[in-house]
Chains A and B, each alone.
Chain A
Amino acid sequence: MAQGIAKAPLPDQRNLAWYVDKTVQVLVFVGGISAILLILGIFVFITKEGMGFITQTLDIGEFFTSPNWRPTSENRPTYGALALIAGTASVTGLAMLVAVPFSLGAAIFIGEFATGKTREILKILVEMLAAIPSVVWGFIGLSIMNPLIIDLFNVPVGLNVLNSGLILGLMAAPIMTTLAEDALKAVPDGYREAAEAMGATRWQVIFRVVFPAAKNGLVAAVLLGVGRGFGETMAVLMASGHSINIPTSPFDSVRALTATIAAELGETAVGSDHYRALFTLGIFLFAITFLINLTADLVVRGPRKR
């Protein structure tokens, strides 16, 4: 700044600072829309590889109804994804059966009962749990859970729906706990105080007041947990047994959609039918997770808009 009385810049005074400011504004805007560009980019690149296959080779009916995933067959390759979808669904389903009640319970305890230090420590522990890499979870399934399941249930193979479902449940729970706790925290304290002033007990406040008020946030938390389980790759690849199978019991080995891509992409020639079939699975996964995330977003924001 010059000494003396600084002249107030006129609105249209275009000095260096003005140009720098405008340049930065443009750069920052590009950064801002990068997430949109990347999501579009992901969509474009995976459909570019997979779309030709869907329109030319793939029998959509067979894809959704046949359990035969035999892309490497010499005579007649078949691309039935039913068993893979069933594999993903069974593992995710079991995971949610474990994770939803426990993470809601944990969220209630951390958000409504725990105070001070206890609460801080529990929150940090949950955050650390969420950070454990999926390949480590897969390794745990493989080397710790597998022998445990074989011993406990007297079954020949411990890599199955039960193993990967439990692993996936433990993986998804911290995220769901954090999101659910956020949803509970978003309920204004005034609601709780008003209910307590009426003589409601703590659990009455939680179940009659806080839960209904946080309902949408809790549903979104569960949905995002489902999305997370659905898309999990390494842990499911390592702990599910990796055999193409429509499961009839928790002790059946299965193979998930994600695991199929991870296991087979390395062996395929770029541009081959098999390669493009794997991208088709990718499109399917992308579409499902996109729908789940969109629904979760609408569930959270919808009522607030109105």
Chain B
Amino acid sequence: MFEATELNHRNQRTEKLWRLLFLMMTLLLILPVAVILTVLVVKGGPSLSIDFLFTEPTQGMTAGGILPALVGTVWLVVVALIASVPIGVAAALYLSEYAPDNWLTRIINLAIINLAGVPSIVHALFGVGAFVAFFRFGTSILAASLTLAVMTLPVVIVSTREALKAVPQAFREACWNMGATRWQTIRKVVLPNSVSGILTGVILEVSRTAGETAPIMFTGAAFFLPFLPQSVYDQTMALSLHLFVVSTQVPDVPEGLPFGVALVLIGLVLSMNAVSIGFRMVLRGKKKW
């Protein structure tokens, strides 16, 4: 009575075909990237060395290392984090702990989506108009980092909001019932229970910030500087812009050099990303509620 009919068989075959088709599509998205990364490693690997990371570019950037670019990227990322993390966490706290479900909250959410969707070069124009010219920071690490901070703010807000939302409502209610104020509840209960989730988002932001090029091109990153930055008012080299420069602007660069720079940049970004993902998975495993 329950024997498979010809129709069942046909349906099973069709399903297998669909499954195969979708699997192929997924793999076709991933495989080219795997091939490309392999090429980067093969061609860029030989130029990597301790010297490459810790010496300055020489002979018009056709030889030597990437130290100033590496240091510059660290400066840019750190200053951008100092600016964006407090604001982003505050925004997420507002949205998760305070905001009523009204038109203002909806507009805030729309603004966050739009902020994330504004083209990076428009962020660059904003940085030039606002930070470089209007606030008179000049082309400096400060102006470039603030531009990056504005651009990556949605990353912090969204990931922090998710981390806060993961704290069960009952934790808050228990604390309120003890007579604690909202802020006491946030500080003693909500934040301690979500700090690792927030950290995950911050690491993700580091990875995003380190790779951006367009927003820093005109706000503070320089093609070549013979010295390391001393303060936030200095210009700086940056790894991402350095890749653009050595691959398009400098003549007679040996082939391995830009591949080396690309490999360092992508290694930095992907390893930060992997740390963030790993962190998230450990957290999910540890969660007790």
Point out residues on A near B: beta carbons under 8 Å.
6, 8-9, 17-18, 20-21, 24-25, 27-36, 38-39, 41-42, 45-46, 48-49, 101-103, 105-106, 108-110, 113, 122, 124-129, 131-136, 138-140, 142-144, 170, 173-174, 177, 201-203, 206, 224, 227-228, 230-234, 238, 258, 261-262, 265-266, 270, 278-279, 282, 285-286, 289-290, 292-294, 296-297
Known: A233-B121, A266-B217. A105 touches B266 (CB 8 A): no
B residues in contact with A101, CB < 8 Å:
25
Q: Are B122 and A21 in contact (CB under 8 A)?
A: no
Q: Are A234 and B25 in contact (CB under 8 A)?
A: no
Q: Which of B48-56, B167-175, B227-235, B267-275 contacts A (4 or more CB under 8 A)?
A: B267-275
Interchain CB contact (< 8 A) of A144 among B39, B94, B273: B39
Closest to B150 in A: A38
Known: A29-B98, A36-B107, A293-B114. A139 touches B126 (CB 8 A): no
Interchain CB contact (< 8 A) of B95 among A32, A42, A129, A279: A32
Known: A201-B14, A292-B117. A134 touches B22 (CB 8 A): no
Q: Are A135 and B181 in contact (CB under 8 A)?
A: no
Q: Are A238 and B248 in contact (CB under 8 A)?
A: yes
Q: Are B119 and A230 in contact (CB under 8 A)?
A: yes
Q: Which of B57-65, B74-82, B204-212 contacts A (4 or more CB under 8 A)?
A: B204-212
Q: How far is the CB of B126 from chain A (nearest CB, A)?
A: 5
What secondary structure prevails in chain A residues at the interface with B?
A: helix
Interface size class of chain B, counting residues whose CB lies under 8 Å from the partner chain? 35 or more
Known: A38-B153, A139-B258, A297-B113. A134 touches B134 (CB 8 A): no
A-B contact pairs, 17 of them (CB 8 A): A28-B90, A29-B94, A32-B99, A34-B90, A46-B125, A46-B126, A131-B208, A132-B33, A138-B247, A170-B29, A170-B33, A203-B14, A261-B124, A265-B125, A285-B122, A289-B122, A297-B113
Q: Are B118 and A42 in contact (CB under 8 A)?
A: yes
Q: Besides the contacts A135-B241, A231-B120, what 9 more A-B pairs have beta carbons closer than 8 Å?
A: A25-B98, A36-B108, A128-B274, A135-B213, A138-B247, A230-B119, A231-B117, A258-B120, A285-B119
Q: Are A21 and B214 in contact (CB under 8 A)?
A: no
Within 8 Å of chain A (Cβ to Cβ): is B165?
no
B residues in contact with A31, CB < 8 Å:
86-91, 93-94
Within 8 Å of chain A (Cβ to Cβ): is B71?
no
Most B-side CB within 10 Å, residue of A20, A31, A36, A285: A31
Q: Are A125 and B30 in contact (CB under 8 A)?
A: yes
Point out residues on B near A: beta carbons under 8 Å.
11-12, 14-15, 18-19, 21-26, 28-30, 32-33, 36, 39-40, 86-91, 93-95, 97-99, 104, 107-108, 110-115, 117-126, 128-130, 133-134, 150, 153-154, 157, 179, 181-184, 186, 207-208, 210-214, 217-218, 240-241, 243-244, 247-248, 258-259, 262, 265-266, 269-270, 273-274, 277
Closest to B134 in A: A45
Known: A32-B98, A49-B129, A135-B213. A238 touches B244 (CB 8 A): yes
A296 to B109: give the CA distance in the assembly, Å: 13
A residues in contact with B87, CB < 8 Å:
31, 34
Q: Are A35 and B157 in contact (CB under 8 A)?
A: yes
Q: Are A21 and B183 in contact (CB under 8 A)?
A: yes
A139 to B121: give the CA distance in the assembly, Å: 18
A243 to B245: give the CA distance in the assembly, Å: 19
Q: Are B29 and A103 in contact (CB under 8 A)?
A: yes
Known: A109-B26, A142-B247, A170-B32. A282 touches B121 (CB 8 A): yes
Most B-side CB within 10 Å, residue of A206, A262, A266, A285: A262
